[in-house]
Structure 1
Amino acid sequence: MSRELVFSEKFPQKPHNCPAVKVPGLIFCAGQTATGEIKQATTTVLQNLKEVLELGGSSLDKVVKYNVLLQDMGDFAAMNEAYIAFLPKPMPARTCIQAGCLPGGSTIEIECIAQA
């Protein structure tokens, strides 16, 4: 199976990670993170995922699954408010868990899988 790495100056490939990988029919986006107030952080992360998906020839409309990691599950309602307002309907499948420690003190991390 062929794999195509998706990256740019804004989303560089790192030795241990790539912002997204395309395989026939699908694009897998690595987690995007943000710090600060959860509604704004959620919007920032989703905007970054939107840009990564577009670099790979996809879009938020084609996402079939999100994985959301929150530093504090107490932020769920506020995260969900920003999440719902940002995404088209019908909503894709989603998992949301509390993660004990996210990279760089982030308050949220979201990854996704979309149709390519």
Structure 2
Amino acid sequence: MPKKIIFSDKAPAPIGPYSQAVQVNGTLYVSGQIAADVAGSGDIKAETGMVMQNIGHILGAAGLGFSNVVKSTIFLKNMDDFTSVNEVYGSFFTKDPPARETVQVARLPKDVNVEISVVAVE
């Protein structure tokens, strides 16, 4: 089956040679999203909220929503932010949250504090 590139002008444009999302065989693979606009503000909740909003815009461009997400990966610069990120992230998944892993990494693009990617199905 051919792949379909998904793009939302409401989410940040890719900063490298990748697509915001690719859809194939009813599955949407959303690239890691960051919130460079609020990075460095010290407000991890605001940063996480913006990341999740960006993901929502991309899901919407594919005709999907957060209820279609089956898997996510959270990359954190500091695992001490886990509880705050969870609080915001969880507000987007009020029923049947997806499978997930969360890992601490040494550094993220544009020196943000959190990056999240998701996989969704129709």
What range describes the TM-score normalised by the shorter chain of this pair? over 0.9
CA RMSD of aligned residues (A): 1.5
Counterpart in 2 of 1:31?
32
State TM-score, norm by structure 1. 0.92
Secondary structure of the 1:16 match is coil
The one of 85, 89, 92 aligned to 1:83: 89
Rate the CA distance shift 1:72–1:92 in 2: closer, same or farther, 3 A.
Answer: same
Partner Cα separation in structure 1 for residue 106 and residue 33 of structure 2? 17
Judged with a 3 Å threshold, the aligned counterparts in structure 2 of structure 1 residues 48 and 76 are, in CA distance, closer, same or farther, namely: same
The one-letter amino acid of 1:31's match is G
Listed as ranges, the gaps of 5+ residues in structure 2 are none
SS in 2 for 1:64: strand
Residue ranges of structure 1 left out of the alignment (5+ in a row): none
Moved more, 63-72 or 5-14: 5-14
Amino acid across the alignment from 1:2: P
- State percent identity of aligned pairs: 34
Q: Match for 1:62 among 59, 68, 77? A: 68
1: CA distance between counterparts of 2:16 and 2:89?
Answer: 30
TM-score after normalising by structure 2: 0.88
SS in 2 for 1:22: strand
Decide whether aligned partners of structure 1 residues 13 and 75 sit closer, same or farther in structure 2, where only a CA change above 3 A counts: closer
